[in-house]
């Protein structure tokens, strides 16, 4: 009996020793690279980390928010002519490549230029001669935004060191099949609130990334804020080399009712160049409280009404905003 017990004890010791050696060897073979400050900022931009700022989650959603998911109807409630007319259209985003270029401004600020390159298909559904038809237009669109982070601490954990400081408006343009800025350039966006004749916000282009919001955490005014039930009038000034009326639209993230896009109306035109488009709408009382992204796109008429896949030209801009109550 003693020999049997001794053998069992020895066998158990051998197994334990073998397992210890195995796990020790595994532990030695695994190396963990510490996260750098730039790694953390890149992760915040991509949405895999957060710095605690309320605006940060929006940094990762530019491409998904402007994605119509395919052909959808405008949410303007306007009548549709059943013959020779558009019915539904929109972007379907396939892939998004994200490049984050970070520059140091001394030891206290990191400035990131975020470039998102979208590969997608612009899908058009409509009637031609009373028969439903469809056109798919593959496209490439580049969106850019500037973001600054400010140092709040100096520790070994980058997540404790940086906080969102500045966020700019978005600047975008198709690069294929046509360069959007070769045809349409937005020069100013003015936002009027509740019938006031003086704009509450005015943003100058053509590079809208020069319009920068300082977060409230950093002592700034923060991103634009609106209450539920507020009446908003947006005026878009642009230059166009197109002989036809352009298609300008306001986009926002799809809500419970599927609302996602409304067209603007051409209100003035000086020759074939300077044009003004306007849209007035009311933030409905059931709008969610929080922070959101809003976008404006300006497209050539050929982008929608010409079935040639090589005719798609669009420019875009956008800004984060907050609905407070």
Q: What is the pLDDT of residues 88-104, one digit of tens each?
A: 888 999 999 999 999 99
Q: Which residue has the higher pLDDT, 311 or 59?
A: 311
Give DSSP secondary structure letters for 82-123: SSS-EEEEEEEEEEEEEEEEEEEETTTEEEEEEEEEEEEEEE
257, pLDDT greater than 50: no
Cα distances (angstroms) measured from residue 257 to each of 72, 248, 260: 13, 22, 9
Q: Judging by DSSP bridges, how do beta strands 274-282 and 265-270 pair with one another? A: antiparallel
The per-residue pLDDT for range 197-213, each reduced to its tens digit, is: 999 999 999 999 999 99
- What's the whole-model pTM score? 0.83
Q: What is the pLDDT of residue 255?
A: 58
Q: What is the pLDDT of residue 87?
A: 74
Nearest CA to 169 out of 318, 3, 13, 4 is that of: 318
CA distance 87 to 81: 9
The DSSP letter of residue 243 is S
Give me the residue spans of the domains in the chain.
1-31, 32-323
List beta partners, residue 247.
299
Q: What is the pLDDT of residue 80?
A: 45
Cα distances (angstroms) measured from residue 258 to each of 60, 228, 252, 304: 21, 18, 10, 21
């Amino acid at each position: 009996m003693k020999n049997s017990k001794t053998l069992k004890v020895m066998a158990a010791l051998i197994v334990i020793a073998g397992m210890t050696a195995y796990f020790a060897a595994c532990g030695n073979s695994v190396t963990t690279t510490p996260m750098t400050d730039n790694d953390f900022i890149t992760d915040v931009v991509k949405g895999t980390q957060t710095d605690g700022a309320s605006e940060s989650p929006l940094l990762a959603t530019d491409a998904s928010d402007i994605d119509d998911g395919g052909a959808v109807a405008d949410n303007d409630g306007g009548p549709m002519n059943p013959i020779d007319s558009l019915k539904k259209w929109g972007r379907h985003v396939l892939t998004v490549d994200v490049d984050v270029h970070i520059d140091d401004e001394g030891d206290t600020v990191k400035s990131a230029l975020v470039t998102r390159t979208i590969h997608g298909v612009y899908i058009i559904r409509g009637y031609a001669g009373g028969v439903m038809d469809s056109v798919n237009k593959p496209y490439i669109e580049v969106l850019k935004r500037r973001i600054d982070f400010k140092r709040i601490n100096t520790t070994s954990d980058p997540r404790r060191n940086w906080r969102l400081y500045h966020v700019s408006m978005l600047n975008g343009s198709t690069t294929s099949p046509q360069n959007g800025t070769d045809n349409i350039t937005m020069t100013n966006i003015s936002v009027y609130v509740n019938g006031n004749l003086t704009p509450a916000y005015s943003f100058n282009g053509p590079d809208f990334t020069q319009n920068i919001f300082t977060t409230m955490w950093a002592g700034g005014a923060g991103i634009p804020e609106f209450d539920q039930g507020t009446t908003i009038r947006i005026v878009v000034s642009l230059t166009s080399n197109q002989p036809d009326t352009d298609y300008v639209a306001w986009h926002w993230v799809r809500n419970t009712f599927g609302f996602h896009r409304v067209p603007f109306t051409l209100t003035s035109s000086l020759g074939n160049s300077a044009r003004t488009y306007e849209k007035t709408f009311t933030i409905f009382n059931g709008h969610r409280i929080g922070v959101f992204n809003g976008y404006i796109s300006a497209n050539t008429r050929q982008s929608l009404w010409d079935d040639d896949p090589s005719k798609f030209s669009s420019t875009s801009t956008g800004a984060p905003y907050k609905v407070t109550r």
